[in-house]
Amino acid sequence: MIIEDFMPKVGESSIREEMIACLRTNPKTLPSMFFYDHHGSELFEMITNLEEYYPPKVEIPLLRSTAQKLKQELKDCDLVELGSGDCSKISVFLDEIPEEIRQTIVYYPVDVCKQAIEKSACNLQDTYPEMNIHGITADFLEHIEKIPAKRRRFFCFFGSTIGNLTEVQAMKFMTDLGKVMNNNDRLLLGVDMVKDIDIIEKAYNDSQGITAEFNKNILKVVNDHIETDFYPEEFEHVAFFNKKHSRIEMHLKAKKDLEVTSPFLKDQIVFKKDETIHTENSHKYTVDGINKMANAAGLSVESIFNDDKKWFSLVEMVK
Ligand code: AVJ
């Protein structure tokens, strides 16, 4: 097992600067990556178990059936997973692949989080001792060219993580990836599809309020970094489907006029009642949108694997 680190050390000061800059824009925003401190990751884990939060319930069986169909394509290739996290998705996929094929694979988990890479690579090596693992800590949005290209590569980007990117960012990501891919390299991209708006909105407004807690937790993360005095209970969780952009937007809405202070700021951060902080986008795709992304990236869509209801797609693209 090899682990390689390409992450530049992001200093605490650059995190602070980014938080402050985002709270100063109009409208105010916070990048969704700040959700995931320890508690935020626990809350997200709880979200994935919620009845209303359908994406993993649809994607996981789809990963199984798709692996069955693609297993021969994985022979002798470098399997590169972007945003591998805890490697739970790839495990579902690998379980369907015969050991004789797994032996020929080198698995490259790529993630920004060094601990996640170290821990999950070790766990995975225990589960699949026959497979070679080469973990990489990198931000695939910025260091995509660092990913080794010795053999034919099979890229995976699961979990509809691409949905968190804006249209412009997603297009840039796809074109960058298209450029580093060689002929016959493949990509298996997980995307959440447009469906009944009620179903989508319920997935982000669960009855137990876990998503609300997850959303508000970002204010505690901000308090931890820039010593602000945000009271999460002074904000309301708002999540709705924005038709124009085909995305769920999550916001935190001030319940009253309020001011927030930080020793890192000269002036207060002022909120008018009902003013919002935009905390997340989660884009939902159509087949048309998928084709546009593939075209922009110079890739062709080979197959789209779906569940019966076409709620989620695993899109296989090839260069
Ligand atoms: C991890 C980005 C796929 O957008 O559905 C879940 C995050 N936010 N509930 C998503 C999330 C609120 C999730 N992704």
What is the reported pLDDT for 112?
86
What is the reported pLDDT for 12?
84
Confidence of residue 178 (pLDDT cuts 50, 70, 90): very high
Q: What is the pLDDT of residues 51-63, one digit of tens each?
A: 999 999 999 999 9
Q: Is residue 28 a contact partner of residue 278, using CB atoms and an 8 Å limit?
A: yes
Place of tokens 């691409």: 162
Query: Which SS3 state, helix, strand or coil, does residue 254 take?
Result: strand
241-252: average pLDDT? 98
Q: What is the pLDDT of residues 117-170, one digit of tens each?
A: 999 999 999 999 999 999 999 888 888 888 888 899 999 999 999 999 999 999
> To test ligand 1's pocket by mutation, which of 35, 164, 311 has the most ligand atoms within 8 angstroms of CB?
164
Phi, psi of 287 (to 5 degrees): -60, -40
Token pair, residue 223, equals 């308090």
- The answer on pLDDT for 8 being more than 90 is no
Q: Measuring from atom 2 of ligand 1, which residue has the nearest CA? A: 161
- The answer on pLDDT for 9 being more than 80 is no
What is the reported pLDDT for 144?
84
| Residues 209-219 as b or e (16 or more Cβ within 10 Å = b) | ebbbbbbbbbb
Q: Is residue 76 a contact partner of residue 104, using CB atoms and an 8 Å limit?
A: yes
pTM: 0.94
The reply to whether ligand 1 has any atom less than 6 angstroms from the CB of 54 is no
CA 55 – ligand 1 centroid, Å? 9
Q: Who has greater pLDDT, 88 or 10? A: 88
Q: What is the pLDDT of residues 62-105, one digit of tens each?
A: 999 999 999 999 999 999 999 998 899 999 999 999 999 999 99
Query: Which SS3 state, helix, strand or coil, does residue 10 take?
Result: coil
CA 48 – ligand 1 centroid, Å? 9
- The answer on pLDDT for 7 being more than 90 is no
CA 312 – ligand 1 centroid, Å? 14
Token pair, residue 65, equals 């059936």
CA 60 – ligand 1 centroid, Å? 15
What is the reported pLDDT for 187?
98
Q: Measuring from atom 5 of ligand 1, which residue has the nearest CA? A: 282
What is the reported pLDDT for 206?
98
Q: CA geometry: angle at 55 spanning 53 and 57, to 5°? A: 85
Pairing of strands 153-157, 186-192: parallel
Q: Is residue 188 a contact partner of residue 38, using CB atoms and an 8 Å limit?
A: no
State what percent of residues in the chain have pLDDT above 70.
100
Average pLDDT, rounded, for the chain: 95
The reply to whether ligand 1 has any atom less than 6 angstroms from the CB of 163 is yes
174-192: average pLDDT? 96
Q: What is the pLDDT of residues 287-296, one digit of tens each?
A: 999 999 999 9
